[in-house]
Structures are given as structure tokens and as C-alpha cells.
Amino acid sequence: MDWGMRNRLAQLIQPDGHCFFLPIDHGYFQGPTRRLEKPGETVKPLLPYADALFVTRGVLRACIDPANTKPIILRVSGGTSMVGKDLAHEGVTTSIEDIIRLNAAAVGVSIFVGSDYEHETLMNLANLVNACENYGIPVMAVTAVGRELEKRDARYLGLACRIAAELGARVVKTYWCEDFEKVVEGCPVPVVMAGGPRCDTEREVFDFVYDGMQRGAIGINLGRNVWQNDHPVAMAQALRAIVHEGATADEAEALFHRLVAG
């Protein structure tokens, strides 16, 4: 592996082998998502606890201070919306020149395995890998499920993650599910967990993050369950404790409540 690729991966994945990515890319298909109406303000207090920010080029340029030194994972697929016909009908939105110009540490692209646009989105991934590998830029594949949340089982997610790795993704982001070790074991590159819609309680989040880490995930890419919480900074700190400090779900919950109580 070339120095540039290794250096970018080392910016994202910390010396303990784990990572906490903070995604704020949701607006690219769902518009001004609740508590992400002003992304720059949402992330400011959270950035110290995150290892990288997952963001589109538009929000990066408009809302994030260029003096920021957290690595940027650029969301580079899109072209669909919540009110359109099919969320899976994505293309690659960002040129390799802009990816380099914005000093991205990595890029993220969605694949929709099993959808009408399976082939197109898998070729988006493959073509992006071809372009990015030339410059030592890692591609993170996002196994998207669109509105079909029932697809979140180990069989489907294991299939999607393996295909993403086979096409050249350096990291795969997928959902936590029961028997998560089956997803990880079938995927030859590191797997990161996304959060999905907000859970009813903080404890549910700590439980699945802890379980996924025990079963082989290297970290998280959690958005709504952090910044839609009433106490986003406490949430970020508690999750960081699981990911980087080996805290259990009990310990993370206790830390969360201590931080909230002040």
C-alpha cells in the first residue's frame, strides 16, 4: 500500500484500530434534517470527540471552517431525494479534482444491493475506486437500504459488505444487526457501523454499539443518535468511551448520565 493511502487511513483509523466518524451528510437526500439545519453549529461542540467528519462538498465549503484539522470523508454519491421516485438511483456527484482540491482523507459512496439500481451503484463504487486509488484516497462503501429497513439482517448485509470489499472499498459502512460477527467475518476489509433513525433510548444505542464492537466492527459512523439527542456532547463522549476506551454499555450509560447531571 502506498504511503498516501496508508497515511489517510491512519488519519481515520486511530492507533487502537478503532474509529468514530461523525456523519452530517443526511441533507444530500433529505434536506434540512432536524437538528442539522445549521450543520456548522451542530458539529462545532462534537468535533473534539470525533475522529472524522462525513460531509458533502457543499456543506463542507459553506459551513466548516477550513482551519478544521479533523479528517474529512467526502460524501460523493447522490442525485436523489426523499420525495423522488427511487433513493437508489444515485450517481457520483463529485469529480476526482474536487475530491483532491478539498483535501479529502477518504470518500464515501452508497451501494444499493438488490435494488433496481444495483448495477449502477456498484459501478459507481468500482469507478470511484479506480479514480481514487490513483491518488491514494480510500473509498468507504455505504451499504444503503433506502426505505427498506427490513433488509438489516446478517445475510443481506453480509452479502452487500462482501461485494463492496470485492469491488475495492477500503472500509465498509453498514448497519448493526443480530449475529453481526457473520457480517464482519465475511468482509475482508474493516467494517464500521451506521446508526440509522434515532433509537428510543440512549441505552439501545450503547447496547448495539458495544455488541457490534465485541463482534468485530472497528468503529461507528453515527449521526442522528448523536446530534438529535438532547445531550449530543454527552452522547458523543459516552460513545467514544465504548469505541476507544473499552467501556461497556453499562459504563457508557453511567458516564452519559454523569455528564448530563453536570
* Shortest CB 10 distance to ligand 5RP, Å: 22
- In the complex, least distance from residue 197 CB atom to ligand 5RP, rounded to whole angstroms: 7
Residue for grid cell 470485492: 166
CA separation for the pair 128, 141 (Å, rounded): 10
Q: Minimal distance in Å, beta carbon 25 to ligand 5RP?
A: 5
- From the list 205, 234, 231, the residue with the least C-alpha distance to 220 is 205
Please name which of 252, 257, 11 lies closest in space to residue 140, comparing C-alpha atoms.
11
Nearer to ligand 5RP, 2 or 184 (CB): 184
Considering beta carbons, is residue 152 or 182 the nearer one to ligand 5RP? 152
Find the catalytic residue in 44, 70, 173, 182.
173
Q: What residues make contact with ligand 5RP under the rule CB under 6 A? A: 23, 25-26, 54, 142, 194-196, 221-225
- Residues 29 and 87: their CA atoms lie apart, in Å, by 8
| Shortest spacing between CB 204 and ligand 5RP, in angstroms | 13
Residue nearest to ligand 5RP (CB): 195
Nearer to ligand 5RP, 18 or 224 (CB): 224
Residue placing its CB nearer to ligand 5RP in the complex, 1 or 149: 149
141 or 187: CB nearest ligand 5RP: 141
Please state the closest distance from residue 67 (CB atom) to ligand 5RP, in A: 24
Of 184, 175, 121, nearest to 153 (Cα)? 175
User: For this structure, is 182 an active site residue?
Assistant: no
For the record, the C-alpha cell of 127 comes out as: 469507478
The Cα–Cα gap between 103 and 82 comes to 29
Alpha helices by DSSP H, the chain: 3-12, 27-30, 39-43, 57-63, 96-101, 118-133, 154-166, 180-185, 202-214, 224-227, 232-245, 249-261
Q: Catalytic amino acids?
A: 173
